[in-house]
Amino acid sequence: MKSIFFPIFRTTRQFGFIFLMLILLAVLATACGPEKKYAGPYLPDEEIAIIKPDDKVFTHVNIISIDKKVPLYTNESSIKVHPGRHTLFFEAVLDYPFIYKYLYFNQYLTFNAEAGQVYTLHATILPMRDEGFSWISAEKDPEKIIVKKYAVGIIPLSTYP
């Protein structure tokens, strides 16, 4: 009797493990895409805009919220929005190895998003001049600046925010 039931339990356990792994992979696959961060009905990809932060080596840009009401989380790399006017609140941190403190600024940046476009939020901090600025570019024409704003109040920090 034992020899008949053990192979049945073993295969049932293997199917259960495979089923669990498939569910886990499906959940992970849906969590990796841009997050829908807009109010209103679901729209196809060609009718929305995507906003993502720049991934520079020494200047980290983190989008904190959009339109002053939708908070973002640190693991989100890009967000989907309806076309139209949007206000981003973000922080920029200069983490350069030869500077003993981190330089930081945050600011609001408002621009008009078009359907089907991918926008990148950039920021730069110039440590020798205690200045910074931010700008948004579109993926279709990365050399064209959609909006640019100078930062006021560069803050030296002793630890990374």
In this prediction, residues 2-20 reach a mean pLDDT of 60
Q: Which of 29-33, 43-47, 72-76 has the highest mean pLDDT?
A: 43-47
Residue 13 lies in a domain: no
Q: Token digits for 25?
A: 């992979």
pTM (whole model) above 0.95? no
In this structure, is residue 70 part of a structural domain?
yes
Q: Does residue 23 lie in a domain region?
A: no
Is-contact 38 82, C-beta < 8 A?
yes
Cα(84)–Cα(128) distance, integer angstroms:
37
Q: Is residue 8 part of a domain?
A: no
Residue tagged 């073993």 (tokens): 10
- How many structural domains are present in the chain? 1
Q: How far apart are CA 136 and CA 111, in angstroms?
A: 8
Count the neighbouring beta carbons within 10 Å of the beta carbon of residue 82. Answer: 19
